[in-house]
């Protein structure tokens, strides 16, 4: 594959500092070299410019909507152009609000199914969010709910149909968010279902559920993993995916041959231990790019 790396050091969608260093942490873990060793062509385009939080006036929740929209607008164009040029866009985050731009962009010309690996539902709207952080809203925004400035980014209205996005690894939902998710019709695989049925079965079933769409975007929030394995995240939730479960999930998606784009987000090096979380993130990217044990 021809892969284009796009860094998005966005930290305006949440309140805990440090996630803007996620792209640098993955590069420090030899991301480009590791992918090239798999035989792929790689171009790193650097980072998209993001306003510095301290240089912005203090805002009430949901804060920084306009600034996030501007960044995601650039991301949207970059994603759309990268797909059109025949590259696989690999977006490095940053907080998960950037997915409004990444998924919006890669679906600009043709639809794509979305596998959303995350401990959280990210389906809040301003009225239900307990803290107003926009990184807890991108799935709702992509489906057409929430802040108009983000819902209508790039092209008017929803970017993904509810039936075309699947949440995997969910275990930490806000009270009102649960009702919104049930009403939406989005398929949600909680950690209980993974415990009972196994990650291999779940991912294969999810891909089958999306069989009406040839392409798949993987949106991977590192907090989907158990914090004992990947501690460098801002919103850890106990009881997540193990190291091997995460790798098996990426290996199965790779075997399907349908992955055409990815974002990997929410790495916070300040909270990490020896860059462990970023190194695991790089390994997971490589598994999606076809790396095998044998």
Provide the annotated active-site residues.
96, 118, 120, 122, 135, 221, 223, 266
Measured between alpha carbons, how far is 206 from 170 in angstroms, rounded to an integer?
A: 14
Rounded to a whole number, what is the largest CA-CA distance in the chain?
A: 53
Asked whether the bond before 272 is cis by omega within 30 degrees of 0, the reply is no
Residue 65's SS3 state is helix
Contact (Cβ atoms closer than 8 angstroms) between residue 132 and residue 10? no
The Cα–Cα gap between 221 and 265 comes to 5
Beta bridge partner(s), residue 147: none
Contact 190, 171 (CB under 8 A): yes
Rounded CA-CA distance 112/85 in Å is 17
Tokens of 255: 């075997």
């Amino acid at each position: 594959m021809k892969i284009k790396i796009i860094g998005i050091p966005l930290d305006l969608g949440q309140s805990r500092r440090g996630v803007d260093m996620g792209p640098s942490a993955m590069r420090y873990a030899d991301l480009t070299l590791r992918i090239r060793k798999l035989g792929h062509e790689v171009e790193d385009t650097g980072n998209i410019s993001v306003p510095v939080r301290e240089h912005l006036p203090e805002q009430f929740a949901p804060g920084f909507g306009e600034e996030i929209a501007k960044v995601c607008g650039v991301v949207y164009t970059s994603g759309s152009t990268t797909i059109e040029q025949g590259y696989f866009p690999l977006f490095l985050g940053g907080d998960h609000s950037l997915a409004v731009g990444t998924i919006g962009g890669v679906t600009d010309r043709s639809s794509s199914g979305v596998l959303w690996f995350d401990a959280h539902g990210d389906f809040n709207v301003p009225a239900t969010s307990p803290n107003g952080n926009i990184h807890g809203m991108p799935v709702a925004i992509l489906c057409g709910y929430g802040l108009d400035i983000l819902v209508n980014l790039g092209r008017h209205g929803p970017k993904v149909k509810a039936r075309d996005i699947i949440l995997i690894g969910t275990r930490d939902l806000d009270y009102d968010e649960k009702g919104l998710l049930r009403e939406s019709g989005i398929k949600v695989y909680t950690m209980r279902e993974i415990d009972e049925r196994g990650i291999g079965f779940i991912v294969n079933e999810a891909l089958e559920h999306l069989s009406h769409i040839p392409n798949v975007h993987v949106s991977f929030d590192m907090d989907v993993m158990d914090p004992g394995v990947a501690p460098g995240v801002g919103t850890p939730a106990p009881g997540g995916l193990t190291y091997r479960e995460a790798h098996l999930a990426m290996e199965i998606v790779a075997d399907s041959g349908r992955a055409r784009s990815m974002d990997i987000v929410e790495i916070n090096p300040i909270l990490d231990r020896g860059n462990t979380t970023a190194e695991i993130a790089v390994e997971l990217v490589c598994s999606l790019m076809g790396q095998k044990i044998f």
